[in-house]
Amino acid sequence: MANLTVVTGFFLMGFSNIWELQVLHATLFLLIYLVALMGNLLIFMLISLEGKLQTPMYFFLRNLSFLDLCLVSITVPNSIANSLSHNYSISFWGCVSQLFLMMLFAASELFLLTVMSYDRYVAICQPLHYEVIMNSETCVKMAAASWLTGGLFGVLYTVSTFTLPFCGSKEVHQFCDVPSLLRISCSETHLATDVTMVLAFSLGIFCSIYITISYGRIISTVLKIPTKESRSKAFSTCLPHFTIFMFFITTGVIAYLMPPQESDPVLDLLLSMFYTVVPPTLNPVIYSLRNKDVKTALRKFIAWKYFSKALIPKFFSMII
């Protein structure tokens, strides 16, 4: 009990002790962050502005882009700043906020991806009933349920983790997450956290099974399509969706189910980066930018942007 003190802050683990590697890390993650930021902002803006994209599928895609934008913005900018400033400290409440927001957005994204698989299942397997089933009220309720579920898990994980005592080393990853905080806890039992993890793992398994069944039925329906071009288009859409979801859920499960005493700090850091950075970066390309309607909206936006730039100066010159 002598080593148990009131926690006022934590120290964020550096990527490396070598300055050149720190700069390389910061540069790499800055490029990744800019790609994720621009991609998700572009998708969010295009869907919001383009009238033809006001359908349930794009409504969920806009929510996904916003979630990805928030998720990647919680961790990556702070990681870049730490690598370049040598300031590795984070306040207690800053760590609490970071963990809560990470859990909120990650869990919300998991359930939103499940909802999106249901939307695609109804669109492909029950097209005649699609407008009745996926009406605007239902879509808003599904999106709200995803956010509320994410918020619930954010609260559960945050409360169960920060009620644990911390002592000795207070060095965590480059951002605050549950595995790194459990690793520096004085308590050998984490009952509340374990119960939360079991609940989250069970719901994650349910979402995985549901998405697998949905895509399985979609593929079964697609195989009955007579034209090869239509089948190829459906497969090129479904398979990347399923792949990125499995990557997201697998890396998250490995990171959170690994016993804290046996975990390797570097491996924990890499796994955490994978499930918080890679999906938000790839989702705009896989879910949206490969879509014909989104490409058309993007071309219209670019054409309008260049047209307005050329027209406005001429208009003012004529007035003057």
The pair of structure tokens assigned to 235 is: 């497969």
What is the reported pLDDT for 312? Answer: 47
Q: What structural domains and CATH numbers belong to the chain?
A: 9-289 (1.20.1070.10)
Distance of CA 57 to the CA centre of its chain: 18
What is the reported pLDDT for 167? Answer: 74
What is the reported pLDDT for 14? Answer: 64
What is the reported pLDDT for 1? Answer: 43
Cβ contact 184:171 at 8 Å: yes
What is the reported pLDDT for 101? Answer: 92
Which amino acid appears at position 177 of this protein?
D
Length of the chain: 320
Please list the pLDDT of the chain residue by residue as tens digits (320 residues).
444 455 677 777 766 677 777 788 788 888 888 988 988 888 888 888 877 778 888 899 889 989 999 988 888 888 787 777 777 778 888 888 988 998 999 899 989 999 988 998 898 888 888 888 999 899 999 999 999 999 999 999 899 888 888 776 677 776 788 877 887 787 776 777 878 888 888 888 898 899 889 888 888 888 777 777 666 666 666 777 777 788 778 777 777 776 655 556 566 667 677 777 888 888 887 776 666 777 777 777 676 655 555 444 543 454 44
- For 44-99, give the DSSP string: HHHHHH-GGG-SHHHHHHHHHHHHHHHHHHHHHHHHHHHHHH---EEEHHHHHHHH
What is the reported pLDDT for 162? Answer: 86
Q: Which long-range contacts (C-beta less than 8 Å, at least 24 apart) are formed by 219-222?
A: 221/124, 221/125, 222/124
The pair of structure tokens assigned to 311 is: 């027209």
What is the reported pLDDT for 288? Answer: 66
* Proportion of the chain in helix, strand, coil states, percent, rounded to 5: 80, 5, 15
What is the reported pLDDT for 196? Answer: 84
What is the reported pLDDT for 142? Answer: 93
Q: Which residues pair with 167 in a beta bridge?
A: 4
